[in-house]
Structure 1
Amino acid sequence: MYDNPAVQEPSMFIKVLYGDNEEALFNPNCRTLLLLEHIKEKVGYQPEIDIDLSDENGFIVHLLRSPPLQYASDVLESRRTFILVKVSS
């Protein structure tokens, strides 16, 4: 916890690992479509590239298969680490 009561610890976030030992925090309290778009923007992927996340055990989360208007927080557990996966067709 923080010592300053005016500064609140963020309660809803996930960590995404990508690239060469890079990581970023994201707020999953949004639509899955928006989360995926924001992740692509942050890591420098083109909008047409399909991505997904896997957990640390390698299991794909399948955000791409989730309804685009579903909240990512319904699928992703807060404060967990996920690995960015580029989806090939």
Structure 2
Amino acid sequence: MVFATVRYGQDQYILINPQCTVINLLDDMRRRCGQTPTICLDLTDQTGLVIDLDAHKTEYADKYLKTHETYVLVEKQVLEEDLLNSEFGSSTADLALVRTPSPAQSIRSTRSQEKPKYNVLLDNIRELLPDYRVRRSNEKRKDASSRPTSRVSDEDGSGRGKSRGGRTMKSVAHAISARKRLKASAH
């Protein structure tokens, strides 16, 4: 059975089927989580890494979501000034949040490399997930060490390493063992 779990609200859960287009998945989550149609939704993993589904609306969601994983629902907010600057090249004194960028605005904001703001839609996030920090894939975690990561070489000798979701197998194994040590120390 193919599914993923989404956390939102007061630690509520819904199961989603990622074997559909992203736009259909986002609409379904919006309806089932009681969100208004005017907001732009996205997901993060449980560490806060933004999946950025909004940029891939016509693709299948299972390309970006892992089955049997748990995600956190977030609202994506884009500053209106950034949209105006990217469209007209001018600046405005008033900053206002645009909750749902139009498709054209989404393309322009992506091109201008502006950083949207994310509002976590899971209450008490700090208590539920203490290490959670919303970040995009090009941003590093503050607690990540600055030492270089070693990679497992591929059979083809490319040196890219065997990866799972952009992480090397060694870093996945390291994260699992660290999580086990943390759970053992908590008990």
TM-score of the pair, normalised by structure 1: 0.85
Q: What's the C-alpha RMSD, in Å, of the aligned pairs?
A: 0.7
Give the letter aligned to residue 45 of structure 1. Answer: Q
Q: Please, which runs of 5 or more residues in structure 2 have no aligned partner?
A: 79-187
The alignment status of 1:78 with 2:89, answered yes or no, reads no
- Residue 88 of structure 1 deviates from its aligned partner by 1.4
1:72 Cα deviation from its structure 2 partner: 0.2
Ranked by relative contact order (alpha carbons within 8 Å, sequence separation 6 or more), the top structure is 1
Find 1:61's aligned residue among 41, 51, 56.
Answer: 51
Alignment gaps of 5+ in structure 1: 1-10
In structure 2, what is the Cα distance between the partners aligned to 1:42 and 1:36? Answer: 10
1:34 — aligned with what? Answer: 24
Shift of 1:47: 1.3
Q: Percent identity?
A: 31
Residues 16-66 of structure 1 deviation map (CA, whole Å, 9 limit, x = unaligned)? 000011011010100000000000000111112101000011000000111
Indicate yes or no: 2:33 matched with 1:43: yes
1:22 aligned partner: 12
| Structure 2 CA distance for aligned equivalents of residues 76 and 26 of structure 1 | 10
SS at match of 2:72: strand
Runs of 4+ in 1 over 4 A off after TM superposition: none
Separation in structure 2 between the aligned mates of residue 46 and residue 19 of structure 1, nearest angstrom? 14
More helix by share: 2
* TM-score of the two chains, using structure 2 as the length reference: 0.41
Determine the C-alpha separation between the residues in 2 that align with 1:13 and 1:61: 16
Q: Which has the larger radius of gyration?
A: 2
